C-alpha cells in the first residue's frame, strides 16, 4: 500500500475543479467522484442491526462534493460495525492492479471492501487502512493485498480476489471502539 498525505495534486476540498492531470492520474480510471449529489443514491448502508446491533452509519453527500460516511459505533447487543457499499454492478476491472482512494478521516482504522457477488451477505475482501485525523490522504490498495473474510473471520485458504469479478465496493468500520466516526470520501479509482 502506498500513502500520499496532504497530496499536492488536489485542493483541500473534495472537488478541485480544473486541475493538471498527472502521470499517475493517466494510469487510473475514476469509478466514483461525488461531484453530483445523486451519486450518493448508488450506495447503501449495511450496519450491525442486521444481527441485532445498534450501531448507526450512513453515507450522505456534502456541500463540497464528497460522500460522508458517518455515524456512531455501539458495542451493545454484540454489535460493533457500520458500513456502506455501492449498489452491485459489473465494474470490469480486469487488467487493473488495485484501487486508489482519497479520504479524510478521524484517525480510526477503516476497511475498504470488495465483493465479487451481488449478495448482501457472503465473502468480502478487505484492506485495512489507518486515517490521519482531519487530513486528506490518498491510498493505493493493490488487489493482491486484499484478504478474504466472512462475517469478521479471515479465510486464509480462500481464493484471491479476481479484479474482473468485482461487483461491489465499500467501506466498513469495525475497530471495536464505541463512539462517533466520520470518513469523507473524495474519489475512488482503479489503477494499473
pLDDT in tens, 68-112: 999 999 999 989 999 999 999 999 999 999 999 999 999 999 999
82, 57 Cβ separation under 8 angstroms: yes
- 20 Cβ partners below 8 Å, 6+ apart? none
Find residue 100's DSSP bridge partners: 140, 189
pLDDT one-digit tens code per residue, 169-188: 999 999 999 999 999 999 99
Per-residue confidence (pLDDT) for residue 21, from 0 to 100: 40
Inform me whether the pLDDT recorded for 132 exceeds 80: yes
CA 65 to chain centre: 16
Q: Which residues are within 8 A (CB) of 5 and not within 5 positions of it... i.e. 6 or more apart? A: 132, 135, 136, 137
Please report the domains of the chain, with CATH numbers, ordered by start residue: 2-7+28-191 (2.60.120.260)
* pLDDT value, residue 13: 64
pTM: 0.87
Query: What's residue 20's pLDDT?
Result: 38
Instruction: Tell me the mean pLDDT in the region 53-80.
Output: 95
Provide the pLDDT for residue 47.
Answer: 94
Amino acid at each position: 500500500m502506498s500513502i500520499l498525505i496532504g497530496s499536492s495534486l488536489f485542493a483541500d476540498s473534495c472537488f478541485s475543479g480544473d486541475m493538471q492531470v498527472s502521470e499517475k492520474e493517466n494510469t487510473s480510471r475514476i469509478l466514483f467522484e461525488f461531484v453530483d449529489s445523486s451519486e450518493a443514491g448508488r450506495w447503501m448502508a449495511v450496519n450491525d442491526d442486521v444481527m441485532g446491533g445498534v450501531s448507526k452509519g450512513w453515507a450522505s453527500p456534502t456541500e463540497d462534493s464528497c460522500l460522508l460516511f458517518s455515524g456512531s459505533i455501539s458495542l451493545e447487543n454484540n454489535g460493533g460495525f457500520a458500513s456502506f457499499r455501492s449498489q452491485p454492478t459489473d465494474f470490469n476491472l480486469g487488467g487493473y492492479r488495485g484501487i486508489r482512494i482519497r479520504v479524510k478521516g478521524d484517525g480510526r482504522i477503516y476497511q475498504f471492501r470488495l465483493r465479487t457477488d451481488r449478495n448482501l451477505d457472503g465473502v468480502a475482501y478487505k484492506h485495512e487502512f489507518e486515517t490521519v485525523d482531519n487530513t486528506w490522504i490518498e491510498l493505493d490498495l493493490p488487489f493482491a493485498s486484499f484478504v478474504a473474510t466472512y462475517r469478521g473471520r479471515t479465510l486464509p485458504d480462500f481464493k484471491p480476489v479476481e479484479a474482473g469479478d468485482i461487483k461491489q465496493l465499500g467501506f466498513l468500520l469495525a475497530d471495536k471502539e464505541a463512539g462517533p466516526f466520520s470518513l469523507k470520501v473524495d474519489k475512488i479509482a482503479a489503477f494499473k
